[in-house]
Every structure is written in C-alpha cells, then in structure tokens.
C-alpha cells in the first residue's frame, strides 16, 4: 500500500562535504573579497547542479563561497542587496567585495560570499517547529515590504514564478501513461501504480486548482523548508537567497507550513496524529492574516507549488535532457500525497 511509503523519502538532509579539485575557488575570487588563501576548502555536495557551494576555512573564521551561472550575476547581486536589508539575525548577510559589490564575475561564473552560520538545519523537532515557522513568517513579511520599495527596473529583474496548469496536466499524463524506464525507476512501481489507479481524481484536482484565482504576487522566499533554516542561536537564520522571486505569498507560506510539519513526521513517525490534530490547525490559524483561511486552502496552495515542481522536473528531463533532476521525483510526488493527508484531504487524491 502506498501509505507505507509516505514520509519515507527526504533528499535535503545534512549534506556531505568533499575535497574539491585544486583551484575550484579561483584565487582572484578570494582576493576580490579581500580573503587570503584558506587553510582548507570543502565542496558541500548538493543535488542541485545549477550552483556550487564551498566551505572555506580560515584561521579565525569560516566563509561560504557560492558560484552560479554568470548570466544570473545581476539578479544575484540584487538578491544579495535584498537579503542584506533584512533585520539583523533573521537571514544570512552576504559580504561585499573590495569594489563594494556583492558579486564577482570570474572564470565564467558569478561568485558571492557570506559567513558560515553555526548550527544544524531544522531537524523536525516538534519543540522547535513553531519557532522555525515564526521566523519564516517574519522573513515573508519583511520581503513583501522590501519588494514594494523596489524600483521599476529592479522589479523587472526579479523573475515571477509562472503557474501553468497545462504543464501540470502534461506531467501527470506522462507519469501515468508514457513514462520511460529511467522515470519509472525514479518514481517506483508502487507510486506509478497508485497514480494510474487514481488518475481520474488527480486530473479532477488539477482541473480544480487550475481555476483558482491566484493572489497578487509579492517578493517572497520561494523555498522556505527545513534545509533553508539554520537553527542558530539565539534564533533561527533563513538561508538560500537565490530563491527570492515574485510569487503569491500564500503559495510560499502554505508550502512552508506543509514542509515543516511534514519534516516533523519524517523525523518523528509517531508524531503524525499530533501534527494533523494540533500542529496543522495552529499553523493554519497563524496563516489566516496572510490569506490562507483554512486547511483546504493550505492543501490547495501547497499542491499548486508541488505540482509546479513536478512539472518543472518534467520540463528539465523531457525537454532539456537533464536526467539528474529525477533524484527528486519520487519525493515530490509523495509530498503531493502527504500534503493531502496532513491537511485532512486524503480523499481528494485517492488515499481513502
């Protein structure tokens, strides 16, 4: 039964560190941020191949150096500016280079630097989940205000997340009807069978959500989940500034509430009843001022985000040939089902 697979997959846990090849962080980049040669450099191994993250250890401090495509340099610089304007301690604070910029372009990449933040990622502790969630609400409020202060030119630099229901439909259709072997292997026979059996319900839900009138987009952190929350002292710190976009905040916040509560269940399987009966209702109550009025809306908005992610994996794999994105496919489909169970809507997708 597919219920046994729920809450069993997580791809964003503590990440391995390895010794990268010599020169992976060019000396010119370090010099541009007034940094000497580090005592050691470690590559933080993440599945995301669109950027690289290096931990540079110096005698008195540790620094994170991140590289991404040079085409995104201007946007990255603006994302750094926005993060630097958030309240002290709320989020990581990028460091300016010797020219007073946040980004150095070198060796075909855009590079940014910020201090290494001490503390573990949010581990799903039931005692800390509301503390982490409150910080996510705070960063959302501040980003919305900062977004309203952007100039027209700055506003146009930030991408706005598109929610194309036709892409959701195509992705679900291919998962059910026309999946090649690599996709089936990533998905799993149990999950593919569940999707086939419940195709009519899933299609009806996609049709329903495609008719939702989405709220106005605001500047948000698009990926507020456990792996982007460092449980630092005295308060949690939000990281990953590359996920700053324009999107309805209700989608970001609903997804955040789901992902944090889901991580509680993943880390503490015996907590599911408490999460459903107490945690989700409390989070929903806190989200009402933001326009997420009830658990059905929490399910709907988080499902829109999950469906968008599934469609994005389809796009990258089928249309751009990026097979590495399949590592996350099973988790994303399970997240879609888990959100239904946690919010009291399991019948909507065939879990009952």
Split at pLDDT 50, 70, 90, the class of 47 is low
Q: Are residues 44 and 133 in the same domain?
A: no
Which pLDDT score, from 0 to 100, does residue 15 have? 66
Left, alpha or beta for 96 (phi > 0: left; psi -120 to 50: alpha)? beta
Average pLDDT, the chain: 94
Distances (CA, A) of 263 to 11, 29, 150, 331: 11, 37, 34, 12
- Say what angle helices 329-342 and 189-197 make with each other, to 10 degrees: 50
**In terms of domains, do 93 and 190 share one?**
no
Q: Is residue 143 part of a domain?
A: yes
Question: Per-residue confidence at 51, pLDDT binned at 50, 70, 90?
Answer: confident
Q: What's the CA gap between 277 and 293, in Å, rounded?
A: 17
Q: What range defines the domain where residue 230 resides? A: 121-348
- Closest to 116 in 3D by CA, of 67, 39, 61: 61
Instruction: Give me the pLDDT at residue 45, please.
Output: 74
Structure tokens at 291: 């326009």
Whether residue 49 is predicted with pLDDT greater than 70 in this model: the reply is no
Same domain assignment for residues 78 and 145: no
Are residues 176 and 280 located together in one domain of the fold? yes
Taking 80 as the threshold, does the pLDDT of residue 98 lie above it?
Answer: yes
Q: Are residues 91 and 151 in the same domain?
A: no
pLDDT category, 89, cuts 50, 70, 90? very high
pTM score of the predicted model = 0.95
Calpha distance 193→218 (Å, rounded): 38
Domain assignment of residue 290, yes or no:
yes
Domain check: are 141 and 98 in the same one?
A: no
Give strand pairing partners of 63. Answer: 56, 115
User: Over pLDDT 70: what percentage of the chain?
Assistant: 97
The band of 300, judged by pLDDT with boundaries at 50, 70 and 90, is: very high
| Residue 183 and residue 292 in one domain | yes
Q: Do residues 240 and 76 lie in contact, with contact meaning Cβ atoms separated by under 8 Å?
A: no
* Residue 83 pLDDT > 90: yes
Q: What is the CATH number of the domain that holds 267?
A: 3.90.1200.10
Nearest by Cα to 134 from 236, 217, 226, 221: 236
pLDDT tens-digit series, residues 160-214: 999 999 999 999 998 998 789 999 999 999 999 999 999 999 999 999 999 999 9
Q: Is residue 22 part of a domain?
A: yes
Tell me how many domains the chain contains.
Answer: 2
Whether residue 1 has pLDDT greater than 80: no
pLDDT digits (tens, 9 = 90+) for 99-126: 999 999 999 999 999 999 999 999 999 9
DSSP class per residue in 14-32:
SPPEEPPPTTSS-HHHHHH
Q: What is the pLDDT of residues 208-262, one digit of tens each?
A: 999 999 999 999 999 999 999 999 999 999 999 999 999 999 999 999 999 999 9
Co-location of 209 and 328 in the same domain: yes
């Amino acid at each position: 039964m597919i219920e046994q697979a729920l809450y069993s997959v997580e791809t964003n846990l503590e990440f391995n560190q390895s010794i990268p090849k010599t020169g992976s962080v060019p000396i010119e980049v370090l010099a541009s941020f007034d940094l000497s040669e580090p005592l050691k450099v470690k590559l933080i191994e993440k599945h995301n191949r669109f950027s690289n993250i290096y931990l540079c250890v110096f005698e008195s401090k540790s620094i994170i150096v991140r590289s991404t495509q040079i085409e995104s340099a201007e946007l990255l610089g603006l994302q750094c500016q926005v993060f630097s304007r958030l309240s002290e301690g709320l989020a990581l604070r990028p460091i300016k280079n010797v020219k007073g910029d946040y980004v150095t372009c070198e060796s075909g990449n855009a590079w940014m630097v910020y201090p290494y933040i001490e503390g573990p990622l949010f581990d799903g502790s039931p005692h800390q989940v509301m503390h982490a969630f409150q910080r996510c609400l705070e960063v959302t409020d501040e980003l919305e205000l900062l977004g309203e202060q952007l100039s027209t030119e700055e506003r146009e630099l930030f991408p706005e997340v598109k929610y194309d229901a036709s892409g959701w439909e195509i992705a679900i259709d291919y998962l059910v009807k026309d999946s090649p072997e690599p996709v089936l292997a990533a998905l799993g026979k149990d999950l593919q069978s569940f999707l086939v059996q419940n195709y009519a319900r899933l299609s009806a839900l996609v049709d329903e959500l495609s008719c939702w009138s989405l709220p106005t987009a605001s500047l948000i952190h698009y990926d507020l989940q456990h792996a982007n929350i460092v449980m630092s002292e005295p308060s949690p710190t939000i990281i990953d500034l590359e996920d700053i976009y324009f999107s309805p905040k209700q989608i970001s916040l609903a997804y955040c509430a789901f992902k944090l509560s889901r991580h509680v269940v993943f880390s503490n399987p015996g907590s599911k009843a408490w999460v459903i009966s107490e945690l989700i209702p409390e989070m929903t109550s806190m989200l009402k001022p933001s326009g997420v009025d009830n658990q059905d809306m929490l399910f709907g908005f988080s499902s829109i985000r999950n469906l968008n992610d599934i469609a994005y994996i389809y796009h990258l794999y089928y249309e751009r040939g990026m097979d590495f994105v399949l590592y996350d496919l099973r988790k994303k489909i399970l997240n879609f089902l888990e959100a239904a169970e946690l919010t009291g809507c399991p019948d909507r997708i065939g879990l009952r």
